[in-house]
């Protein structure tokens, strides 16, 4: 079958299955990854670059939406966001060391488990640059599946378990009027009504920013990548909304279309890649790796949410948004937006995700140093 036909089929079936209520949970567009895994197992292929295109579109749209309120949230909760991201990433590092010393598994596998459980291709890339081999990719492939499904389930189940009133919780997320810090657009010219030029220019500048590499000690390099770059440029464009006398704000309806399309493309590619050879991998390495990844995903996400909600007193949906950002999980943000029926969770994700991404760049190198020193 034509690769494009597979792509359309996977996305269509994913949306259909995601609309089914299973014990009060709807996976929404996150079901696309499950369909993709099945098709990937049976050898289906989709066009190259679909995943990258989808990720850049989704993250760019997220940044543009979040930028409208980001300054207010940073002013009111900036320290909380930093500490939550630091806590979650540090906890994942501690668990990685515990797995390594308690089970005796290969160090490269541990790096892969960490990357997959935290749904971070950035951490995987950094680990590979630091010398991790194919075992890291295998560990990532096994644990990534639950890394996505686990956090997607969390953001849908937790509000139900807590019996929250959705409207009341959404109201808690709304910034006071005139408190966003964004400039007024009254009297500015609008030459791009649908915002297509602005959107794709944001993606272009974001990818350029993400491709810039900063040398680090030990010969490795840091870059924001295809997620961090578009997110930061999107946040800036979404906040300032204008260039000179020209209005560059993009309507939310347009951004919603791009974010939905982007996450669908990204999830279909992730599912196809995860499904290829998964049975053989599980047969070779058993369930041990999967269970370790599941433990890491659940412990970090649950404790991260508890810290955000119980200690820093963030609203339920805000705490979940912060958790998805600290876990660098774009699919779970999509699920949270869908289940909460509001975009007001986006700034919480956007405030934590860049911090967590930067920390995950350094974490594999820190773990390597600790293992080398301790033995």
How confident is the model over 334-362, as pLDDT tens digits? 888 888 888 888 888 888 887 887 788 67
Closest alpha carbon to 367 in 28, 154, 107: 107
CA distance 143 to 151: 12
Q: Coil, helix or strand for 25?
A: strand
Quick one: pLDDT at residue 205? Answer: 94
Find the range with the poorest average confidence among 281-285, 307-311, 320-324.
281-285
Q: Nearest 5°: phi and psi at 215?
A: -65, 140
Quick one: pLDDT at residue 292? Answer: 94
The answer to whether 212 touches 189, Cβ cutoff 8 Å, is no
- 284-317 per-position pLDDT tens digit: 666 888 899 999 999 999 999 999 999 999 999 9
Q: What's the mean per-residue pLDDT of the chain?
A: 83
Q: Using CB atoms within 10 A of its CB, is residue 183 exposed (0-12), middle (13-18) or buried (19+)?
A: exposed
CA distance 370 to 364: 10
Q: Is the pLDDT of residue 183 over 60?
A: no
Q: What are the structure tokens assigned to 272, written together?
A: 């196809």
What is the chain's length?
375
CA-based end-to-end distance of the chain: 51
Q: Is the pLDDT of residue 164 over 70?
A: yes
Q: Is the pLDDT of residue 185 over 60?
A: no
Q: Is the pLDDT of residue 154 over 60?
A: yes
CA distance 173 to 153: 21
Higher per-residue pLDDT: 65 or 313: 313
Read off the pLDDT of each residue in 10-32 and give the average, rounded to a whole number. Answer: 79
Q: Nearest 5°: phi and psi at 25?
A: -115, 135
Which pLDDT band holds residue 71 (cuts at 50, 70, 90)? Answer: confident
The contacts of residue 71 (CB under 8 Å, 6+ apart) are 180, 181, 182, 239
Whose tokens are 């639950």? That residue is 146
Which residues are registered as beta bridge partners of 221? 215
Read off the pLDDT of each residue in 196-218 and give the average, rounded to a whole number. Answer: 86
Quick one: pLDDT at residue 320? Answer: 94
Q: Is the pLDDT of residue 188 over 70?
A: no
CA distance 321 to 316: 9
Report field, pTM of the whole predicted structure over 0.75: no
Distance of CA 109 to the CA centre of its chain: 22
Closest alpha carbon to 263 in 338, 318, 206, 320: 338
- In this structure, the strands spanning 214-215 and 242-243 are unpaired
Read off the pLDDT of each residue in 160-168 and give the average, rounded to a whole number. Answer: 88
The contacts of residue 280 (CB under 8 Å, 6+ apart) are none
Closest alpha carbon to 127 in 117, 113, 141: 113
């Amino acid at each position: 079958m034509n690769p494009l036909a597979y792509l359309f089929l996977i996305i269509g079936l994913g949306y259909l299955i995601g609309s089914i209520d299973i014990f009060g949970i709807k996976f929404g567009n996150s079901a696309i990854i499950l369909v993709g895994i099945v098709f990937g197992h049976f050898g289906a292929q989709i066009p190259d670059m679909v995943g990258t295109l989808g990720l850049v579109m989704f993250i760019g749209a997220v940044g543009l939406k979040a930028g409208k309120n980001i300054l207010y949230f940073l002013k009111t909760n900036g320290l909380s966001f930093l500490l939550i991201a630091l806590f979650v990433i540090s906890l994942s590092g501690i668990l990685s060391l515990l797995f390594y010393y308690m089970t005796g598994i290969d160090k490269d596998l541990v790096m892969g488990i960490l990357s997959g459980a935290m749904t971070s291709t950035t951490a995987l890339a950094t680990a590979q640059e630091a010398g991790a081999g194919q075992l890291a990719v295998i560990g990532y492939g096994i644990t990534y599946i639950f890394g996505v499904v686990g956090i997607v389930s969390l953001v849908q189940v937790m509000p139900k378990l807590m019996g929250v009133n959705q409207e009341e919780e959404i109201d808690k997320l709304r910034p006071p009027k005139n408190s966003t810090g964004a400039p007024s657009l009254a009297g500015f010219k609008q030459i791009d009504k649908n915002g297509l030029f602005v959107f794709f220019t944001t993606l272009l500048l974001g990818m350029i920013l993400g491709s810039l590499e900063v040398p680090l000690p030990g010969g490795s390099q840091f870059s924001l990548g295809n997620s961090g770059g578009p997110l930061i440029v999107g946040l800036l464009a979404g906040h300032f909304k204008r260039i000179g006398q020209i209005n560059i704000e993009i309507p939310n309806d347009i951004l919603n279309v791009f974010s939905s399309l982007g996450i669908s493309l990204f999830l279909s590619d992730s599912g196809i890649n995860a499904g290829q050879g998964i049975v053989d991998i599980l047969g070779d390495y058993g369930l041990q790796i999967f269970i370790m990844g599941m433990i890491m995903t659940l412990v970090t996400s649950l404790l991260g949410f508890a810290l955000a909600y119980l200690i820093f007193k963030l609203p339920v949906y805000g705490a979940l948004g912060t958790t998805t950002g600290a876990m660098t999980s774009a699919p779970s943000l999509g699920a949270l937006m869908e289940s909460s029926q509001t975009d007001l969770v986006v700034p919480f994700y956007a405030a934590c995700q860049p911090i967590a991404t930067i920390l995950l760049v350094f974490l594999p190198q820190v773990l390597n140093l600790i293992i080398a020193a301790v033995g």
